[in-house]
Amino acid sequence: MSKICFLVLNTVFNFGHAQGDVTSFFYLLLWIFTLILLLNLFQLNMFWHNTSSLAFIFYILCFLLFNLDVQLTHDPSSSTLFLGESVTFTCNMTAGYDSNWSYVFHRNGQHIVSKSDVSKFLQLDRTTDLSGRYQCSAYHKDSPGFIKQSNNITLSVAANRPTPTVTADRKTISEDRPTELTCSVQDSAGWKYDWFRHIFSEVQIESNVVKNTINIHRGGIYWCRGRRGSPDFLTEPSEMFYIENTLSNQATVALQHDWSQIYSGEAISMSCEIKGGGNSKWEYEWRTTTSKPPSRERTFHIRASVFSSGDFWCRGRADPFSSTEWSQTCHLRVSDKPRPTVRADKRLIPVGGNVTLTCSVDNPTEWKYYWFRHTGNISEVQTVDEGKSENVISISQGGVYYCQGGRGSPVFFTEESHRINIEKREQRPKAQIIADRDSTGGTMTLTCSVKPSSSSSSSWTYYWYRVEIASKPVELKSDTNGELVTSENGLYFCRAGRGRPVYYTESSQSVTVDIPGRCFNELVHRFLRFIQKIILINFFL
SS (H, E, C) 309-342: CEEEEEEEEEECCEECCCCCCEEECEECCCCCEE
Q: What is the pLDDT of residue 438?
A: 74
For the entire predicted model, the pTM comes to 0.53
Q: What is the DSSP string of 429-468?
A: PBEEEEEEE-TTSS-EEEEEEESS--GGGGG-EEEEEEEP
Counted residue by residue, the chain has a size of 541
Which helix (DSSP H) or strand (DSSP E) does residue 7 occupy? Answer: helix 2-18
Instruction: Please check whether residue 254 is in contact with residue 269, taking contact to mean a CB–CB distance below 8 angstroms.
Output: no
Q: Which residues contact 471 (CB under 8 A, 6 or more apart)?
A: none
Helix (H, G, I), strand (E, B) or coil at 124: strand
Task: Please list the residues that pair with 448 across neighbouring strands.
Answer: 433
273: closest CA among 265, 282, 262?
282
Q: How many CB atoms lie within 10 A of CB 83?
A: 13
Question: Is 471 buried (19+), middle (13-18) or exposed (0-12) by CB count in 10 A?
Answer: exposed
pLDDT at residue number 381: 83
Query: Which pairs with CB-CB distance under 8 Å and at least 24 residues apart come from 119-127?
Result: 120/90, 120/91, 120/92, 121/88, 121/89, 121/90, 121/91, 122/88, 122/89, 122/90, 122/91, 123/86, 123/87, 123/88, 123/89, 124/86, 124/87, 124/88, 124/89, 125/86, 126/84, 126/85, 126/86
Q: What is the pLDDT along the chain (541 residues), one digit of tens a residue?
A: 444 544 555 555 454 444 433 333 444 444 555 666 565 555 545 444 455 555 555 555 555 544 568 899 988 888 888 888 888 889 888 765 667 788 889 999 888 875 455 577 877 765 567 789 999 988 877 777 778 889 999 988 888 889 999 999 889 998 888 999 999 998 788 899 999 998 777 788 888 788 899 999 888 999 999 998 888 899 999 999 999 999 989 999 998 888 888 999 999 899 999 988 766 789 999 999 988 777 788 998 889 988 889 999 999 999 889 999 999 999 999 999 999 999 999 998 887 889 999 999 999 999 999 999 987 655 678 888 888 999 999 999 888 999 999 998 889 999 999 999 998 877 788 899 998 877 666 788 999 998 865 445 568 999 999 887 656 778 888 888 889 998 888 889 999 998 888 888 889 998 988 877 655 556 665 666 667 667 656 644 5
Q: What is the largest CA-CA distance in the chain?
A: 214
Name the DSSP class of 50.
-
Identity (one letter) of the amino acid at 295? S
Q: How far apart are CA 332 and CA 317, in angstroms?
A: 24
| 357, 344 contact by CB (below 8 A) | yes
Q: Residue 317: CB partners within 8 Å, gap ≥ 6?
A: 282, 283, 284, 285, 323, 324
| Geometric angle at alpha carbon 317, from 290 and 286, rounded to 5° | 5
CB 321 within 8 A of CB 220: yes
Predicted local confidence at residue 79, as pLDDT? 85
How many CA atoms lie within 13 Å of 34's alpha carbon, on the beta-carbon side? 26
pLDDT of residue 537: 63
* pLDDT score, position 25: 41
pLDDT of residue 540: 47
Percent helix, strand, coil in the chain, to 5, is: 15, 45, 40
426: DSSP letter? P
Q: Are 353 and 359 in contact (CB under 8 A)?
A: no
Other C-beta atoms within 10 Å of 106: how many? 18
Give, for 38, the enclosing helix (H) or strand (E). Answer: helix 24-44
Which pLDDT score, from 0 to 100, does residue 138 have?
86
How far apart are the C-alpha atoms of 354 and 429, rounded to whole Å? 20
Partners of 466 in the β-ladder = 474, 492
Between CA 511 and CA 494 the distance in angstroms is 10
Domains, the chain, ordered by start: 70-158 (2.60.40.10), 165-246 (2.60.40.10), 248-335 (2.60.40.10), 341-424 (2.60.40.10), 431-517 (2.60.40.10)
Mapped onto helix, strand or coil, the DSSP state of residue 541 is coil
DSSP, collapsed to helix, strand or coil, labels residue 497 as strand
